[in-house]
């Protein structure tokens, strides 16, 4: 891709204008606590923490046992959020664009999560984003990346970033700033604690039960993380931060703490051998923190031993830090995430032996069309990357069969993980691949028919553009390198500079332009560069 072309395709992903200072807040509704951080975002995205609040909740216990929030737990959460609203007012934070409220696994898994979300909105006016695993991993990367960039030793290794939460364990594998893999496992400290309580396990048996459960997940992680080079483990989460402060009381959290495995093991043994009352008395923490401390530390310890590490690193980074970095970055770092998403999609394509050169050139043409047709489609810039990924992957169904390869592509994409894309985003990519040829989108089609009207329109608009990009690359030679789109008497004219004979592309365009003409109401004409 040329410099000028790359600039055109990604100009929406950077901004030279310095944002004025603003005060923002992020609230994280987790399994065991609701945490809020208030910060000032200054020039060049600098973040200055102003206030941190944390209150314990029982949402995880409800969600991971009965899969339903009890009324008492819901009202407990509402009361906490109302108290946080008072703090927001004191800092003058009122605009919704300066407040981000997210919920993770506990809310995702509760059968009555919609009632919970509605109750919170009615009581407080706060809208909660129930973020999925892919978005958690993306936000985690946003928070941890600055540490990796500052440490040459870590950036040259394969960094395994792990957070053992209440309901799940999140994993990122990063090397040189590139995300190699990401996954989520249904292993969490609250889940483990609930297993012990359900089984009524005596103290003498608790460790063996936990190690058995943890070992199953550790084995899966070992399969994902190939030991083909030096591995470094970076742990995040409240429980491992407690361990870091206990082992290194002088640690201020501004850098990564390096914990010897021998010292972590001694602390873990001491915690696991105590009951909750003893943990609270000995370490001065709350009962909610005491419940998860042992299971979480044991998980980190077993993972470090599985990779035969002598030390692990601990980061003070958390989900809220990632959210703040995201709010501070606005468009300036979106280009980097775009690149990470594309790398993840390219990796998926290679698994199915796709024609990489053809796919990338088609994707670049789709981006050019998206940029030049902005007044026609009027879509947000974030949909460009969804179109790009769909163009990359639209032919991977050929790995199953040439016949109905568009449907096979949809199936593969829907059942794959793409870093940085939410499950809904992945569904949109899958549908675009489904409609890159053959039938136009129809409400009777599943899952297209299940989408809301605005999402169906987005799929149709993008699929129409994708078909034009495929036609422009009909020769599969990459000879169409630039395009210019203009409007003439209700016709959309695409001119191809530098290519005199476009008869093959014109034939393909006549076959592919129908959806565009139906959606945008304009005839499509392709002209050579003469």
If DSSP states are collapsed to H, E and C, what string results for 46-97? CEEEEEEEEEECCHHHHHHHCCCCCHHHHHHHHHHHHHHHHHHHHCCCCCHH
Give residue-wise pLDDT tens across range 246-263: 999 999 988 999 999 999
DSSP 439: S
Confidence of residue 530 (pLDDT cuts 50, 70, 90): low
Give residue-wise pLDDT tens across range 486-520: 999 889 999 999 998 999 999 999 999 999 999 99
Domain 134-323: which CATH number of 3.40.50.170, 3.30.70.120, 3.30.420.150, 3.40.50.12140: 3.30.420.150
Give CA 274 to chain center in angstroms. 37
The CATH H-level superfamily of 333-477 is: Hypothetical protein af1432 (1.10.3210.10)
Q: For position 359, what pLDDT does the model report?
A: 98
Please provide the distance, in angstroms rounded to a whole number, between the alpha carbons at the two ends of the chain.
23
Tell me what the mean pLDDT of segment 158-178 comes to: 92
Q: What is the mean pLDDT of the chain?
A: 91
Confidence of residue 334 (pLDDT cuts 50, 70, 90): low
> What are the backbone dihedrals phi and psi of residue 228, each rounded to the nearest 5 degrees, phi first?
-110, 5
What does the alpha-carbon distance between residue 423 and residue 300 come to, in Å, rounded to a whole number? 28
Distances (CA, A) of 174 to 137, 145, 215: 11, 9, 23
Query: What tokens appear for 160 in the block?
Result: 């395994």
Give residue-wise pLDDT tens across range 272-314: 999 899 999 999 998 889 999 999 999 999 999 999 999 999 9
Nearby residues of 43 by Cβ (< 8 Å), 6 or more positions away: 18, 19, 21
Nearby residues of 152 by Cβ (< 8 Å), 6 or more positions away: none
Give residue-wise pLDDT tens across range 345-373: 999 999 999 999 999 999 999 999 999 99
Q: For position 3, what pLDDT does the model report?
A: 39
pLDDT at 154 over 70: yes
What does the alpha-carbon distance between residue 406 and residue 415 come to, in Å, rounded to a whole number? 15
CB contact at 8 A, 235 and 314: yes
Of 385, 395, 378, 380, which is closest to residue 433 (Cα–Cα)?
395
Neighbours of 370 (CB within 10 A): 26
Domain ranges of the chain: 19-131, 134-323, 333-477
Domain 19-131: which CATH number of 1.10.8.640, 1.20.1250.20, 3.30.420.40, 3.30.70.920: 3.30.420.40
Output the pTM of the full model.
0.76
Can 19-131 and 134-323 be said to share one CATH topology? yes
pLDDT at 271 over 90: yes
Distances (CA, A) of 83 to 129, 190, 322, 333, 505: 19, 25, 23, 33, 62
The residue among 462 and 424 whose pLDDT is bigger is 462
What does the alpha-carbon distance between residue 195 and residue 292 come to, in Å, rounded to a whole number? 12
Share of the chain above pLDDT 90, in %: 73
pLDDT at 144 over 90: no
Lowest mean pLDDT, pick from 27-36, 43-52, 262-271: 43-52
């Amino acid at each position: 891709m040329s410099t000028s072309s790359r600039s055109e395709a990604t100009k929406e992903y950077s901004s030279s204008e310095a944002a004025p200072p603003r005060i923002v807040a992020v609230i994280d509704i987790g399994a065991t606590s609701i945490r809020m951080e208030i910060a000032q975002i200054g020039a060049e995205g600098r973040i200055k923490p102003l206030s941190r609040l944390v209150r314990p909740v029982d949402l995880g216990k409800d969600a991971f046992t009965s899969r339903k929030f009890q009324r008492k737990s819901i009202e407990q959460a509402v009361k906490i959020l109302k108290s946080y609203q008072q703090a927001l007012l004191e800092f003058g934070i009122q605009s919704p664009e300066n407040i981000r409220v997210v919920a993770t696994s506990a809310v995702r898994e509760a059968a009555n999560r919609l009632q919970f979300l509605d109750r919170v909105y009615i009581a407080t006016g706060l809208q909660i984003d129930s973020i999925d695993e892919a978005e958690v991993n993306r936000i985690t990367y946003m928070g941890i990346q600055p540490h990796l960039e500052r440490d040459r030793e870590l950036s040259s290794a394969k960094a395994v970033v792990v957070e053992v939460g209440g309901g799940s364990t999140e994993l990122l594998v990063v090397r040189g700033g590139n995300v190699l893999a990401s996954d989520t496992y249904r292993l969490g400290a609250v889940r483990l604690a609930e297993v012990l309580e359900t089984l009524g396990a005596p103290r003498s048996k608790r460790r063996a039960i936990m190690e058995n459960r943890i070992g199953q997940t550790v084995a899966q992680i070992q399969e994902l993380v190939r030991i083909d080079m030096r591995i470094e483990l970076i742990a995040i989460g409240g429980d491992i931060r407690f361990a870091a402060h206990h082992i290194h009381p002088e640690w201020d959290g501004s850098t990564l703490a390096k914990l010897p495995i021998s010292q972590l093991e001694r602390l873990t043994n001491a915690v696991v051998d105590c009951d909750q009352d003893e943990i609270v008395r000995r370490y001065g923490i709350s009962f909610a923190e005491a419940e998860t401390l042992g299971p979480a530390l044991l998980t980190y310890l077993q993972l470090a031993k599985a990779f035969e590490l002598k030390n692990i690193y601990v980061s003070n980074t958390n989900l809220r830090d990632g959210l703040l970095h995201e709010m501070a970055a606005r468009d300036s770092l979106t280009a980097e995430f775009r690149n990470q998403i594309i790398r993840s999609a390219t990796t998926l394509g290679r698994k199915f032996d796709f024609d990489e050169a053809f796919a990338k050139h088609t994707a670049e043409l789709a981006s050019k069309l998206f940029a030049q047709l902005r007044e026609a489609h009027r879509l947000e810039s974030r949909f460009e990357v969804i179109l790009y990924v769909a163009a990359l992957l639209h032919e991977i169904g050929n790995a199953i069969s040439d016949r109905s390869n568009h449907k096979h592509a949809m199936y593969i994409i829907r059942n794959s993980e793409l870093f940085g894309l939410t499950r809904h985003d992945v569904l949109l990519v899958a549908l675009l691949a489904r409609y890159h040829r053959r039938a136009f989108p129809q409400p009777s089609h599943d899952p297209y028919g299940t989408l809301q009207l605005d999402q169906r329109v987005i799929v149709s608009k993008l699929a129409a553009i994708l078909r034009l990009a495929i036609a422009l690359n009909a020769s599969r030679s990459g000879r169409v390198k630039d395009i210019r789109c203009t409007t003439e008497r209700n016709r959309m004219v695409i001119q191809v500079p530098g290519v005199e004979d476009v008869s093959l592309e014109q034939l393909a365009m006549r076959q592919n332009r129908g959806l565009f003409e139906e959606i945008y109401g304009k005839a499509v004409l392709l002209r050579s560069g003469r």
